[in-house]
Amino acid sequence: MKSVTDKDDTTLTGAEIKRIRLAQAPKPAWKVALDFAMTKRGIPYVWGGTSDSGYDCSGLMLRAYEKAGIDLPRTAREQYGAFSRKIDWTELEPGDLVFFSNLGHVGMISKPGYMVHAPHSGDVVKEEKLSSWRRQAFVGAVRPDPKGVRRWAQLLEERREPVPASLTATL
């Protein structure tokens, strides 16, 4: 068994050193986002909600990934469109955003076969098994990354730029 003695004559084994290093390592963004979303279980669904007073589906994802340092667009449709790489149903991993019903709903994979989401009015944020109905309503999934969101924001900005006057002048 390997051990290390520090300046205070405290001896640590290799396993203890590894455990300390792992505890100090930063969490990946998906884990920060998932941990945030899971702590919101029980908070009521509120249409347009983005706070602990209430969340809608995309508002929960917005705040979860914001906590992880990734700025998502506001709506489920925009969140899906923000990433060019789409994830197949068979490749889902914790932290992936899953979209349903013509991009009208979004949840986050919490563990294999489950998602955390804000379902609808009269309900609360909860973790739920992915049902066969969800599989049929599945549109696609994305794995949020900062580069994808920056590309999306850049494309939006390019669309907003006014057309040069020389191109719109009448002849």
Answer positive or negative: Cα dihedral of 137, 140, 145, 147: negative
3-class DSSP state of 161? coil
Instruction: Calculate the CA 157 to chain-centre distance.
Output: 23
Of 76, 46, 70, nearest to 137 by C-alpha is 76
The one catalytic residue in 40, 117, 134, 143 is: 117
Q: How many residues does the chain have?
A: 171
The one catalytic residue in 105, 107, 109, 118 is: 105
105 catalytic residue (yes or no): yes
Distance CA 47, CA 153 (A): 24
The one catalytic residue in 37, 43, 57, 97 is: 57
117 catalytic residue (yes or no): yes
- Which residues are the active-site residues? 57, 105, 117
